[in-house]
Amino acid sequence: MQSFRTEIENPIVERDILELERKIALFKEGKIDEEKFRSLRLARGVYGQRQPGVQMIRIKLPYGRVTGDQLRRICKVSEEYSTGRLHITTRQDIQIHYVSLDRTPELWAELEKDDVTLREACGNTVRNVTASETAGIDPNEPFDVTPYADATFKYFLRNPICQEMGRKFKMSFSSSDEDTGLAYMHDLGFIPKVKTIDGKEVRGFKVLLGGGLGSQPRHGDVIAEFLETDQLIPLIEVVLRIFDRHGERARRNKARMKFLVKDLGLEAFLELVEQERKALPFHSYPLDFENSEAGQKLPNPEKPELGAELGLDFELWKQTNVLPQKQAGYVAVGVRVPLGDFYISQARALADLVQKYANDEVRFTLRQNFLIRDVREDLVPYFYQELKKIGLAERGYNSLGDITACPGTDTCNLGIASSTGIAVELEKVILDEYPQYLKNKDLVIKISGCMNACGQHNMAHIGFQGMSMRVGKTVIPALQVLLGGGNLGDGNGRFADKVTKIPSRRGPEALRILLNDFEANSGDLDFLSYYDEKGQIYFYELIKELADSSKVTEADRIDWGREENYEVAVGVGECAGVVIDLVATLLLEAKEKLDLGQESLENGRWSDSIYHHYAGLINAAKALLLGEDVSTNSYANIISLFDEKFVETGKVNLGRSFADKVYEIKNHEPSEEFAKAYAAQALEIYQVLKNYREEEVEA
């Protein structure tokens, strides 16, 4: 297991992995609290799954891009440490399951050999930065957002401002006004725009803030119609600083950005943003990618020999799975991956295919598929032939029959009912009874196993949410049926209405009723227009008979994909980590942050040093407050309560208020002079607080 120490060239990455290994050992020895250890491993992509004793590993793939070599590396790791099955998430990541905790440092080290990371794939961090899979090839795009998404990912990875926020933070870049990146449902969403200024075309973004799904979906607010690209990184950083300071930390279900914006009000939030700008290390962060885009090369391989005649299946597949590109003579091939699950034998063959005959990359999609880009048009038959050999030539890419579903009760602690099981059944219904819908890309079905909406069910035209239903003295698996959600483009979307709850076993019949009614009565209307014309009550009446619990049968007691009677078994979710309330642990953590601050100071990273010292002071103050049984719910709350409980009462003498000292961070530019002064002050305050705590314990 120690061999990775000499094989990793990046010392920062090596330290990350060694730190994980060390903390695993301390946890096993009982020297780290379980909840604190959970927070640490989540930020390193190690997620507890439903089955005890094993972990899910989330591999972070910015904007879903993976090269052939990286895909082979992921296969090697899955084969060695997991089950050989790869799962594509709705955030363009790859997950592997059933991994032993002890082997996660070694696994991570293996991935890093091809520049693949686990860092900040889970936990209270900036999660994977997603983007339209067509970015760079979209015929309708103003410019390629890929390099901007990449710059965002790199800038905020390991950035001290977003390592331990109150909750996770999600960003997305769309390629065009079609908004296939779903900007409106992200904490920050970006849609590319071009504007003429002084006779010159200037690149920028429409920006949306505070969107989200879950049990209380919220549409993002437009905070900029046109933000020039040099302001992208500064805006994200200042928003993250405000979220880190003011975001809820005690009530986990209220800790997302959408709740902070709602509670403060958009205007007040943006005022805080303006007040914080002085503290930024960059007031302009130029991102000039025009020249790099112009230098991009397209593949021109020798044409391979084709086997037997392909026939009608190929023609049908081509209608739904081949997408136009803005590059003349090239197309993209969409590969439908049912439920996002495929295997390493398929992935290895895929890696060979894209390296030899495409542009050596695959983009995983928000709908759990993948897109092969830059395929020369005359090679499309060959790609179909090769994909069919490995079982990846199903037609209906991004169609109604291409259903999105989270893992649900298969592996997730929060799953209430099986999302994958019902998804399989609904796909069968569409394929066998409504094959015409395999061409329909205007209707979307999404399924989540619980209210947290990892399957994005509440923004679909037809959505299903896993639930339970009490019938007499027993509980059966159920589905909430939601209708009328959808992406309207240019940062506009709508969330689905809850129509009724039905036993899970009746899900296929509900779909039949809905599709039959739509086909018979909608005329020329699209589904959303038809839904609006008829209204929520009409659809309730249409399927209400399926909700009748008096007609429950024995079959209704068994969930899809299962053989045994249903039991509710919801564990502790780890989607965003847990707040730690141990005084000693917090003081130790405060010292670790101060040490990181000193290291940043020595390396001339003034802004990083300031923020590490700031975070160290917050942790030390929280430790003393918790020692007095004082509850806190945000960093700003910690600062004010510390003054109230310790400084104003004379228990701790800092010369002036804690707030005055801590908030110097937002009143000064991050210069060398200020960084050194702030560091010295932070170390002095920490020592005072540490001495106070030791005296209290001894007393």
Number of H helices, E strands in the chain: 22, 22
Assign residue 53 the CATH number of its domain: 3.90.480.20
Mean pLDDT estimate for the chain: 91
Instruction: Specify which residues 431 forms β-bridges with.
Output: none
pTM of the model: 0.91
Token pair for 239: 């928003």
* DSSP per-residue codes, 162-176: GSS-SS-B-EEE-SS
Q: What is the pLDDT of residue 215?
A: 84
399 within a domain of the structure (yes/no):
no
74 within a domain of the structure (yes/no):
yes
- Are 522 and 589 part of one and the same domain? no
Predicted confidence (pLDDT) per residue in 433-469, tens digit: 999 999 998 899 999 988 888 889 999 999 999 988 8
Cα 526 from Cα 515, distance rounded (Å) = 12
Q: What is the 3-state secondary structure (H, E, C) of 616-646?
A: HHHHHHHHHHHHCCCCCCCHHHHHHHHHHHH
Residues 6+ apart with CB under 8 A from 86: 74, 75, 78, 94, 95, 96, 341, 342, 343, 344, 347
681 within a domain of the structure (yes/no):
yes
- Are 408 and 385 part of one and the same domain? no
Cα 381 from Cα 387, distance rounded (Å) = 10
- Number of residues that this document lists for the chain: 699
Q: Find the angle CA(523)-CA(525)-CA(531) to the nearest 5 degrees.
A: 110
Cα 50 from Cα 76, distance rounded (Å) = 24
* Owning domain of residue 166: 130-292
Cα 399 from Cα 421, distance rounded (Å) = 19
- Are 416 and 522 part of one and the same domain? yes
Q: What is the mean pLDDT of residues 157-182?
A: 96
Cα 397 from Cα 393, distance rounded (Å) = 10
21 within a domain of the structure (yes/no):
yes
Assign residue 363 the CATH number of its domain: 3.30.70.3340
540 within a domain of the structure (yes/no):
yes
Instruction: Classify residue 2 by burial, with Cβ atoms within 10 Å: 0-12, 13-18, 19+.
Output: exposed
Residues 6+ apart with CB under 8 A from 6: none
- Are 547 and 454 part of one and the same domain? yes
- Are 362 and 415 part of one and the same domain? no
Q: What is the pLDDT of residue 571?
A: 46
* 188-197 and 200-209 beta bridge pairing: antiparallel
Based on the structure, what is the number of domains in the chain? 5
Q: What is the pLDDT of residue 411?
A: 67
Q: What is the pLDDT of residue 4?
A: 56
Alpha-carbon torsion, ordered 217, 222, 228, 229, to 10 deg? 0
106 within a domain of the structure (yes/no):
yes
Q: What is the pLDDT of residue 406?
A: 87
- E strands, 178-275, are 188-197, 200-209, 221-228
552 within a domain of the structure (yes/no):
yes
- Are 408 and 545 part of one and the same domain? yes
* 362-364 and 65-66 beta bridge pairing: antiparallel
- E strands, 449-553, are 462-471, 474-483, 486-489, 492-494, 497-503
Which of 47-51, 493-497, 627-631 holds the top average pLDDT? 493-497
Assign residue 692 the CATH number of its domain: 1.20.120.330
Are residues 619 and 593 in contact, defined by beta-carbon separation less than 8 angstroms?
yes
Q: Is 80 exceeded by the pLDDT of residue 536?
A: yes
Predicted confidence (pLDDT) per residue in 170-196, tens digit: 999 999 999 999 999 999 999 999 999
- Are 258 and 339 part of one and the same domain? no
Q: What is the pLDDT of residue 564?
A: 78
Predicted confidence (pLDDT) per residue in 90-107, tens digit: 999 999 999 998 999 999
613: closest CA among 631, 595, 586? 595
Are residues 237 and 231 in contact, defined by beta-carbon separation less than 8 angstroms?
no
- Are 34 and 134 part of one and the same domain? no
Cα 533 from Cα 551, distance rounded (Å) = 31
- Are 520 and 380 part of one and the same domain? no
Are residues 186 and 208 in contact, defined by beta-carbon separation less than 8 angstroms?
yes
Q: Is 90 exceeded by the pLDDT of residue 410?
A: no
- In which band, very low, low, confident or very high, does the pLDDT at 308 lie, cut at 50, 70 and 90? confident
Q: Is 50 exceeded by the pLDDT of residue 6?
A: no
- Are 455 and 505 part of one and the same domain? yes
- Are 157 and 71 part of one and the same domain? no
- Are 412 and 369 part of one and the same domain? no
571 within a domain of the structure (yes/no):
no
Least confident piece of the model among 209-218, 317-326, 449-458, 680-689: 449-458
Q: What is the pLDDT of residue 582?
A: 62
